[in-house]
């Protein structure tokens, strides 16, 4: 005879009823949708109250008033701002982000053509930052209490105090001018044959086993990626080292030492798996800011990505293109944050019910 069923305890490790999981996911999706709508409204109305006539920038000096009126009607700028918003929102929901004022091409195709370059640059920067930050944290933990740890802390502070675009200028001067090792502009050398069918050059070159192209692409991407990675590496190093420092005093770590395990084993096999969770969450959140930071870095290195296009769109007052880029950035930001929340909840059962 079975005993009475125990009531559900949300603090139980690994217990997460399917309905609660579905409810949590739906709540996060709803808040993500509200965020996207809010971003769309703010961006649409803000860029239209900024002084400047995008139509006037398109026409030559000798254009007539009829020409201005014709283009104004073509892009729907002759209607009220609320009407323009409803028209744009209706088109966006059907996958039509409008036509770029400067290039006369569909905004969606323009944005998607530049997105792979920005994603590859951001992913490469994240990998570099994780490698450097993790190495600094593990080294500082292994050599804790000595001059090496103090030197690492000072290095992290210096890395954080310098913004990424200034690191870009330093890298250009050091490894592009004084010691010209890497390329300082562009995404790939124009003289190379490009057999790509997608705009993911870095990944496709590996898939096609064209390592000559891969090496050239990496040589173009390394300095902008490193400029983005240095401040993030300092943040990762500080947080992970602090987490490791707290974990090293716990009972199971002390027990591992009493069993005769070496310090490297204790750090890597015992302390690190439990200390890395807050850092993984930080990496996911910081990845969104990393993508936003590509705007200035791409301009600095003449990298053909979404950030570079965003600056051109702002300069040219290309309203449809600005809206498309901002909405895409917002989708990436909210999507990554949603994924981080769900992964963190999966890794930490106690937070699933928060």
Question: How confident is the model over 251-299, as pLDDT tens digits?
Answer: 777 777 777 777 777 787 878 877 887 787 778 778 888 888 888 999 9
Helix 211-247, helix 107-142: angle, nearest 10: 50
Share of the chain above pLDDT 70, in %: 86
Question: How confident is the model at residue 248, as a pLDDT?
Answer: 79
Contact in structure between 163 and 231 (CB atoms under 8 Å):
yes
| Integer Cα distance of 116 and 120 in angstroms | 6
* Alpha-carbon dihedral angle through residues 296, 302, 304, 308, given to the nearest 10 degrees: 30
Residue tagged 């204790």 (tokens): 266
Reported pTM: 0.79
| Integer Cα distance of 139 and 233 in angstroms | 14
What number is the average pLDDT over the span 67-73? 75
Task: Give yes or no for residue 127 having a pLDDT over 90.
Answer: yes
Which tens digit of pLDDT belongs to each residue from 112-123?
999 999 999 999
Helix 164-172, helix 277-300: angle, nearest 10: 60
- Segment (H or E) for 158: helix 147-161
Contact in structure between 239 and 279 (CB atoms under 8 Å):
yes
| Integer Cα distance of 9 and 20 in angstroms | 13
What are the backbone angles phi and psi of residue 52, rounded to the nearest 5°? 125, 140
Task: Give yes or no for residue 337 having a pLDDT over 70.
Answer: yes
Task: Give yes or no for residue 7 having a pLDDT over 80.
Answer: no
What number is the average pLDDT over the span 240-260? 80
Classify residue 261 by its DSSP letter.
Answer: -
Question: Which region holds residue 60: left if phi is over 0, alpha if psi is between -120 and 50, else beta?
Answer: beta
Q: Count, in order, helices (H) and strands (E) of the chain.
A: 15, 0
The more confident residue out of 22 and 210 is 210
Task: Give yes or no for residue 352 having a pLDDT over 50.
Answer: no
Question: How confident is the model at residue 2, as a pLDDT?
Answer: 46
Classify residue 8 by its DSSP letter.
Answer: P
| Integer Cα distance of 309 and 323 in angstroms | 12
| Integer Cα distance of 216 and 63 in angstroms | 45
Question: How confident is the model at residue 60, as a pLDDT?
Answer: 67
| Integer Cα distance of 300 and 168 in angstroms | 7
Residue tagged 């790509």 (tokens): 196
């Amino acid at each position: 005879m079975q005993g009475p069923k125990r009531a559900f305890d949300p603090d139980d490790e690994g217990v997460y009823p399917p309905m609660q999981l579905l409810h949590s996911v739906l709540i996060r999706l709803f808040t993500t949708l509200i965020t996207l709508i809010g971003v769309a409204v703010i961006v649409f109305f803000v860029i239209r109250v900024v002084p400047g006539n995008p139509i006037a920038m398109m026409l030559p000096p000798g254009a007539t008033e009829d020409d201005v009126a014709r283009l104004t009607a073509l892009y729907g700028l002759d209607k009220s701002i609320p009407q323009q918003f409803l028209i744009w929102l209706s088109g966006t929901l059907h996958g039509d982000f409008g036509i770029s004022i400067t290039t006369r091409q569909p905004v969606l195709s323009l944005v998607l053509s530049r997105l792979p370059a920005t994603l590859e640059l951001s992913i490469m920067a994240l990998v570099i930052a994780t490698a450097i930050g993790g190495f600094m944290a593990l080294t500082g933990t292994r050599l804790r209490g000595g001059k090496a740890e103090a030197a690492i802390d000072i290095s992290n502070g210096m890395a954080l105090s310098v913004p990424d675009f200034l690191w870009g200028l330093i890298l250009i001067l050091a490894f592009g001018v004084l010691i010209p090792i890497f390329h300082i502009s562009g995404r790939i050398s124009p003289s190379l044959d490009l057999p790509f069918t997608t705009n993911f050059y870095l990944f496709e070159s590996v898939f096609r086993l064209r390592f000559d192209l891969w090496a050239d692409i990496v040589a173009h991407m390394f300095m902008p990626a490193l400029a983005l990675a240095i401040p993030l590496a300092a943040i990762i190093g500080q947080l992970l080292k602090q987490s490791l420092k707290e974990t090293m005093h716990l009972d199971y770590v002390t027990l591992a030492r009493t069993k005769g395990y070496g310090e490297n084993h204790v750090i890597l096999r015992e302390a690190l798996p439990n200390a890395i969770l807050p850092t993984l969450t930080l990496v996911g959140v910081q990845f969104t800011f990393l993508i936003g930071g590509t705007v200035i870095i791409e301009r600095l290195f003449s990298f053909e990505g979404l950030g570079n296009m965003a600056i051109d769109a702002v300069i040219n007052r290309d309203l449809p293109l600005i809206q498309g880029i901002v909405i895409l950035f917002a989708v990436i930001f909210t999507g990554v944050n949603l994924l981080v929340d769900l992964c963190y909840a999966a890794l930490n059962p106690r937070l699933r019910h928060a």
